[in-house]
Chains A and B, each alone.
Chain A
Amino acid sequence: MGEVDENLFTLLYLPKTGVQMSAEKEMLDFLGLDEKDELFQDIPDLIRTDLDIPKGVSEMEAMVEVKDKLEKNRDLNELTSFLGGGIYNHYVPAAVGEIIGKSEFYTSYTPYQAEISQGLLQALFEYQSLIAELTGLGAVNTSMYDYPTALAEAVLMAARISRKGNTFLLPENIHWEKDPVLENYLRGKDIEIEKVQFEESGKIDKEDLKSKLNEDVLGFYVETPNVFGVLEDDVEVFNDLKEDHDCVLVAGTDPMLLSLMRPPADWGADIVVGESQALGIPPSYGGPTVGIFASDEKYIRKMPGRIIGETEDSEGRRAYCMTLQTREQHIRRERATSNICTNQSLMALASAVYTYTKGGRGLEDLAKENYRKAHDLAERIDKIEGFEAPYFDSEFNKEFTVKTPEDSQKIFERCAKKDILPGIPLDKKRKFSSLPNMMLTAVTEMNTDEDIDSLVETLEEVVG
């Protein structure tokens, strides 16, 4: 072979789309056109525009430029972090990335054509099955965008189920990002939110809940663990209240902890929502994650989102497909149960692969390890003068509140200077201005004994 004529490549291939340029003339001829711009003759001159962005660069240059920007970040490997607040830094086994990185999965879309999409359909059915095992509710969708939007959809679904009232009771002690999302989703709806207070223990105030459960209440929400990491320990009462008042019970929970904790279906939850990020998804600056959505089987036709069902093919072989599609926007349009179309499927797949990689025992052991580490750390922080941990004297899991001797934001900043992120300061931006000097601290298996020692030492140093 002789010398390669470089011009050949620029002649043959469109520089950016990478497809053959030589064919373009033939295609234009076929259409009876001279040049490509004629394809846009139907756009009036009055509204024609020109793009004012920089010219493209090579893949290599783009790679370098974007990586250089990313290098300005300080990642969790360089820091000692006890940040949680809904996003947790658990170890993700390499197999998870390997499998969700298979391009047959990640370059496919919603499996409208079931026969050619069995792999993804079966994998998502595995996800639904795992969430069903953990929550105790058999009907699960393939995902919502995240925990706050899953809660918003759950409240809308509760209103579809309930035939009475227009008030929904929401505890005050939920994550600061959930209230504003819910408020927006309820904008045009005739549903009022009434807040339920929390006790000194950090648990929901059951007396307040009881007093507000009147005729007008269509449902209520209970979260365990809640935003303070606190676990409700008298859960039967929620079932009793639900039955006495004939309304819908929505429960929020942590899927990893459900390897140890009784499933919410046990205590009457009709809908369970949660966040599956802890199962196999890196913190990723908070997105993408997975909103968990599970429902009692009797309400499947009122559920939002994509659902995979088990069935058979023409020869009687087991097969899977999207089902109950008449609930969905692409069929039912304005009468759909939700507008959701694109969801977080690949992340649901990540959670399924993660859960299998851990195995039932592995997940349970991990939950126990996190529980133990968090309790050890709380005990040690509590011994530091001026600190109180956990601030709420209740059962907790891997996250707990710390009362700090002075402004928690200042303590946070001093620790951050030493590359230690001790927890999330609950300042007024984070809604709990009634709880000054408070911090939310989370522990995972990624926090070594040395990390814990250095956090304790640093907290001792930065005060007084």
Chain B
Amino acid sequence: MSSNYRQARYKEDLLIERADSREVEDNPLPKSISRDEAPKIPDLPKHEIVRYFNRLSQMNYGIDTGFYPLGSCTMKYNPKFTEKIGSHPKATEIHPYQPEEMVQGTLEIMYELQELLAELGGMQSVSLQPAAGAQGEITGLMIAHQYHKDNDDERNEVILPDTAHGTNPASVSMMGYDLVEIPSEDGCVDIDALEEAAGEDTAVFMITNPNTLGLFEKDACQISEIIHQNGGLLYYDGANLNAIMGKTDPGAMNFDIMHFNLHKTFSTPHGGGGPGSGPVGVTEELSSYLPIPIVEKDSEGYHLNYDLENSIGRVKGIYGNWLVLLKAYAYIKEKGKDGLEEATERAVLNSNYLRKKLEPHLDLPYRELRKHEFVLSGKKMKDKGLKTTDLAKRLLDYGFHAPTIYFPQLVDEALMIEPTETETKETLDRFAEAVASIMDEDEEVIGDAPHNTSVGRVDETKAVRDSVLSYKMREE
């Protein structure tokens, strides 16, 4: 197989470099707060600006360009019809402080989405406010914090397995909890270690299931028993929900709080890093703790309820990333029960198929059935004097986005691969062929990769050393 991908390679200076210094004239503001010198922003013809950003887009790789097996990110096809709905004026041209009777369509969609997500998660109630998965996590911890406080129960620890996503420990310390990390055994939670760690200080246990190795935590029931017996709450990180829809759900596994990543499981675009959406679901016991407002329905229609007895208050301005909610809603309506089940089945089939295809070429720790993703070790690269990074960079030359690398940290030289359900067998075969072909290549070709992208290997060390974070800093 040949590395015949070619990305556009333009030399584009920054637009901001084209600005001149000038004075602000006829400034209506009082002298004490008036700018004398205008900010350096150029005045350019629209056509130039459109061309510039168009060329930049050609130096970028998205799911619509090719295979994007970035583990834990669920880079599935983003339907175009949901994009079209998301730009409808009845969705974009509405103001958050319009009276409720003028936005009944929006409130109805939000209400129905709350209900659909509750069913998908096996939860009682859902808040759509959090803007992303990590914000969902911290919202969940706020709920747990308030719940324990209301029960006069001082608990200061959150337990995590060592396979947890980086956002989990970061959310824990952001909320001021002490982190207790427990080791895994054969890639799953070590029940003995959990029993030892759990106690009267345990506020929450957070986990994603299947975990980040793509393994289903088979002791899910035992885990929840241990935590609940100790008076703690269970938090489900919904990043990997794409692996279980229609097969099981966090409610069935006795979780108390969870978040959904609408930009993963429900196929809203990742937007180059956002916006996403991270709704939070809770059990009946915790329903009154959700952020306000939530959408309710009565005989007169839909309205925003600000009056939840134990609500933690707000985690974000307004009501959440509405346009993302809308796209996810349209996706769920179109897919429905059959489509979501099919998505899960095909995602897991694709993952296991590709895993087996790649096993002859790279090491697979923890040899078991995987769910929607799997983790390989790139330690064979070390025999060539190379690293996983080099393999990842060389994959770019073949026209594939690289998998997530160096995570989870318990796998040496990790490559985390999530194909998703929207890829064909042919694409998976081509990816496996590319890996096989790279393993036979000369060290130099791999070590100097990528060759076919708009720039060569980027010097990240220099970026840190020089820390040029804006044109202003370059000029200084």
Contacts and interface: CB of A to CB of B under 8 A. Distances in A.
A323 B460 contact: yes
Nearest to A285: B322
Contact of B57 (A62, A74, A119, A132): A119
Contacts of A72: 104-105, 108
A104 B64 contact: yes
B425 interface: yes
B362 to A, nearest CB: 17
Interface string A261-301: 11100000000000000000011111111000000010010
Contacts of A128: 469-470
Contacts of A458: none
A42 B77 CA distance: 27
A49 B160 CA distance: 26
A314 B457 contact: yes
Contacts of A297: 467, 469, 473
A288 to B, nearest CB: 4
Interface residues of B, number: 198
B450 A115 contact: yes
Given A107-B78, A148-B317, A360-B39, A56 B336 contact: yes
A111 B315 CA distance: 27
Contact of A87 (B96, B99, B468): B96
Name, among A73, A103, A224, A235, the residue most crowded by chain B CB atoms within 10 Å (CB to CB): A73
A411 B35 CA distance: 38
28 contacts: A16-B342, A24-B349, A31-B356, A39-B345, A54-B333, A83-B95, A87-B318, A103-B63, A104-B61, A107-B65, A109-B272, A115-B393, A119-B55, A140-B469, A140-B470, A185-B174, A285-B94, A286-B317, A289-B317, A306-B273, A311-B459, A321-B460, A332-B170, A341-B134, A342-B273, A353-B49, A356-B15, A361-B38
Nearest to A413: B99
A314 B68 CA distance: 24
Nearest to B181: A334
Interface in B235-256: 244-249, 251-253
B90 A71 contact: yes
A436 B464 CA distance: 53
B41 A73 contact: no
B425 A54 contact: no
B317 A42 contact: no
Contacts of B32: 233-236
B41 A62 contact: no
A171 interface: no
Interface string B72-105: 0101011101011101111111111111001111
B56 to A, nearest CB: 4
Contacts of B425: 19-20, 23, 26-27
B29 A261 contact: yes
A416 interface: yes
Contacts of A395: 29-30, 33
A59 B396 contact: no
B179 interface: yes
B138 to A, nearest CB: 6
B50 A115 contact: no
Given A95-B50, A188-B176, A313-B459, A77 B89 contact: yes
B377 interface: no
A339 B131 CA distance: 13
Contacts of B104: 72-73
Nearest to A328: B166
B358 to A, nearest CB: 12
A73 B102 contact: yes
A456 interface: no
Q: Which of B34, B134, B426 has the most CB of A within 10 A?
A: B134
Interface in B364-397: 368-369, 392-393, 396
Given A56-B334, A310-B463, A286 B169 contact: no
A216 interface: no
B211 to A, nearest CB: 12
B96 A39 contact: no
Contact of B471 (A39, A129, A180): A129
A4 interface: no
A262 B35 contact: yes
A367 B125 CA distance: 43
A286 B339 contact: no
Interface in A2-52: 14-20, 23-24, 26-28, 30-31, 36-37, 39-44, 46-52
Contact of B456 (A105, A115, A342, A416): A115
Contact of A49 (B171, B247, B421): B247
A70 interface: yes
A47 B61 contact: no
Given A17-B342, A41-B369, A63-B85, A323 B119 contact: no
